[in-house]
Amino acid sequence: MTWTLYALLSAFAAGATAILAKIGVRDVPSNLATAIRTIVVVLFAWGIVVVRGEISGLRDIRSRSLLFLVLSGIATGISWLAYFKAIALAPASRVAPIDKLSLPIAVFLAVVVLGEPISWRLAAGTALMVVGALLTIDA
């Protein structure tokens, strides 16, 4: 599969997550719901690692990579906890677009931190994402 197909699969799954999470947090505290989701993700991810025989790569991870993977995990945890709290308090149709402001933030950080190039099309598309997300906010 190409990276584009993986990205589309990711987008579809993330979109479904909003609806599934909204239904799931109806009678469950948001932090508990996040913990349950996290257990499922951990088991699912480790299952794939074991089945694909990638577990041997553990010994080859450098400390710098491990540090950034841990920091990424912390950021993911904060994101998930905040997302589940927001989805418990507001309609999914309002929370999901605001959550997707992560896209222009990621583009900005990719340019500033990673030095990735930005074209006028990428800048325009990113600006449209921001405008689209902001238009979903109730005034």
Q: How confident is the model at residue 108 (pLDDT cuts 50, 70, 90)?
A: very high
Distance between CA 74 and CA 91 in Å, rounded? 26
Percent of the chain clearing pLDDT 70 (strictly above): 99
Is the model's pLDDT at 139 over the cut of 60? no
| Distance set, CA 116 to CA 31, 67, 72, 126, 132 (Å) | 35, 22, 19, 14, 24
Is the model's pLDDT at 11 over the cut of 90? no
pTM of the model: 0.83
User: Which residue range forms the structural domain that includes residue 72?
Assistant: 3-90
Domain count for the chain: 2
In a domain, 95, yes or no: no
> Long-range contacts of range 22-28, CB-CB < 8 Å, 24 or more positions apart?
22/87, 22/91, 22/92, 25/84, 25/87, 25/88
In a domain, 119, yes or no: yes
Asked if 31 and 50 sit in the same domain, the reply is yes
Asked if 39 and 16 sit in the same domain, the reply is yes
In a domain, 139, yes or no: yes
Asked if 72 and 104 sit in the same domain, the reply is no
Within 25-91, where are the H helices? 30-51, 63-89
Distance between CA 46 and CA 41 in Å, rounded? 8
Distance between CA 108 and CA 117 in Å, rounded? 10
